[in-house]
């Protein structure tokens, strides 16, 4: 087992974790702010991929799909929050969970009716096709691009949350929405925007994943399971946790793929079980939620 192969394997893990981070971030932001466990998150990832494909086929360009689809699906997310989820806030926490669970099925069926249940090809954009020599081995240029986009998105998100007034409100709102209301902040609008942001992130993940995996109506279900694992490991509601856990899970999968490939899917669940035993709130989670 040479060092180059292990280095390549580590890098593959990071690249694999990048997509998981995009999905888990959205899940975590929505849970952290709204307290809603969004079971439609995987389906919205899939809707993002189809929206990207659809826009790319209309405009003839992947880039428009990459840009517009997350915004459009994010807008759909805001609509979902406003019309379907908002009336449920006053009720038990199970209600939004059940609603989004059902909504996930509706979205998958809707896509099946509109685009068929077979997969549809989503070619790698020609500018990003081919492989790059990393010195330790070859890696698809497109996957490098994905890592770059995810890193850029994380940077923008961090700047937005740490350096803007809106970010301050979001952070404060996550701690105590009651006080924010007393201070005269329109928390309902903040929640609307946060839900839209979370959905836009997963939709971006979907568009980014499409040229690697093609699109099909069921592509979100596995992704949702991965995202939950990442969120639980990182700590529900923690953004740093989602990033660290995403990388951790990606690397754990790729290292397992090297030494015990048939265990590559199981390992993330084993990791989750381990973290839950040792630190039930997750790596970066708060011990108890108010």
Partner 1 sequence: MTSQGTYSITRRSALAGLAAGSAALAMPALVRAQGESIRIGFPTPLTGPFAAEAKDQVKSAELAVKLVNDKGGIAGRKVELLVRDDKLNAGEAATRTLELIEKDKVHAVVGALSSAVQLAVNEVTRARGVIYVSISQSDTINEVKDFSRFTFHEALNPHMTTAAVAKHTFKPGSKIAYLVADYAYGHEMLRGFKRAQAAIGATSVGEILHPFGAADYSTFMPQLRAMRPDILCICNFGRDQANAIKQAVDFGMNRQSKIVVPVLLHNQRLAVGPEAFEGVVGGANYYWGLEDTIPSAKAFNDAFKAANGGAYPTDYGAYGFTGVSSLLLAMAAAGGPDTDKVVAALEKLQYDVAKGPQHYRACDHQSVQSVLVLESKKKAEMKNEADLFKILAIEPAAESILRTCSELGFPA
Residues that bind partner 1 (CB under 8 A): 2, 5, 8-9, 12-13, 15-16, 53-54, 56-57, 60-63, 65, 109, 112-126, 130-131, 137-140, 142-143, 212-214, 216, 218-219, 222-223, 253-254, 257-258, 261-266
Shortest distance, CB of residue 178 to partner 1, whole angstroms? 42
Shortest distance, CB of residue 273 to partner 1, whole angstroms? 17
Q: How far apart are CA 13 and CA 79, in angstroms?
A: 35
Cβ-based nearer residue to partner 1, 2 or 277:
2
Cβ-based nearer residue to partner 1, 49 or 192:
49
- Report which of 7, 91, 24, 45 is spatially closest to residue 209, judged by C-alpha positions: 45
3-class secondary structure, 138: strand
Shortest distance, CB of residue 27 to partner 1, whole angstroms? 18
Cβ-based nearer residue to partner 1, 138 or 166:
138
Q: Any residues with CB less than 8 A from the CB of 65 and at least 6 apart, and which?
A: 51, 52, 53, 54, 55, 56, 59, 207
Cβ-based nearer residue to partner 1, 93 or 106:
106
Cβ-based nearer residue to partner 1, 95 or 218:
218
Q: Any residues with CB less than 8 A from the CB of 129 and at least 6 apart, and which?
A: 141, 142
Shortest distance, CB of residue 91 to partner 1, whole angstroms? 31
Cβ-based nearer residue to partner 1, 71 or 144:
144
Q: Write out the two tokens for 116.
A: 């068929």
* Cβ 37 vs Cβ 100: under 8 Å: yes
Shortest distance, CB of residue 172 to partner 1, whole angstroms? 38
Q: Any residues with CB less than 8 A from the CB of 150 and at least 6 apart, and which?
A: 18, 19, 21, 22, 208
Q: How far apart are CA 227 and CA 176, in angstroms?
A: 26
b/e 34-65 (16+ beta carbons within 10 angstroms → b):
bbbbbbbbbbbbbbbbbbbbbbbeeeeebeeb
Cβ-based nearer residue to partner 1, 109 or 176:
109
Shortest distance, CB of residue 246 to partner 1, whole angstroms? 14
Residue carrying structure tokens 């932001």: 29
Shortest distance, CB of residue 143 to partner 1, whole angstroms? 7
């Amino acid at each position: 087992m040479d060092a180059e192969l292990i280095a390549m394997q580590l890098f593959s893990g990071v690249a694999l974790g990048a997509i998981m981070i995009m999905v888990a971030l959205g899940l975590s932001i929505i849970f952290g702010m709204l307290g809603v466990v969004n079971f439609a998150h995987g389906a919205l990832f899939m809707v993002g991929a189809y929206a990207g494909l659809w826009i790319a086929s209309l405009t003839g360009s992947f880039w428009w799909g990459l840009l517009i689809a997350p915004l459009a699906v994010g807008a759909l997310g805001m609509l979902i929050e406003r019309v379907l989820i908002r009336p449920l806030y006053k009720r038990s926490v199970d209600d939004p969970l059940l609603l989004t669970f059902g909504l996930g099925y509706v979205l998958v069926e809707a896509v099946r009716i509109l685009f068929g249940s077979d997969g549809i090809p989503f070619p790698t954009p020609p500018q990003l096709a081919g492989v790059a020599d990393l010195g330790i081995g070859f890696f698809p240029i497109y996957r490098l691009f994905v890592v770059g986009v995810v890193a850029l998105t994380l940077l923008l998100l961090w700047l937005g949350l740490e350096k803007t007034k809106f970010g301050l409100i979001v952070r404060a709102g996550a701690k105590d929405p009651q006080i924010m209301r007393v201070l005269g902040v329109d928390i309902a609008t903040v929640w609307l925007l946060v839900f839209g942001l979370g959905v836009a992130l997963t939709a971006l993940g979907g568009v980014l994943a499409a040229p690697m995996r093609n699109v099909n109506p069921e592509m979100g279900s596995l992704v949702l399971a991965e995202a939950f694992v990442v969120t639980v490991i990182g700590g529900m509601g923690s953004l740093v946790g989602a990033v660290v856990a995403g990388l951790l899970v990606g690397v754990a999968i790729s290292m397992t793929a090297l030494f015990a490939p048939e265990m590559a899917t199981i390992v993330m669940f084993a990791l989750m079980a381990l973290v839950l035993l040792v630190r039930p709130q997750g790596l970066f989670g708060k011990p108890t939620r108010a």
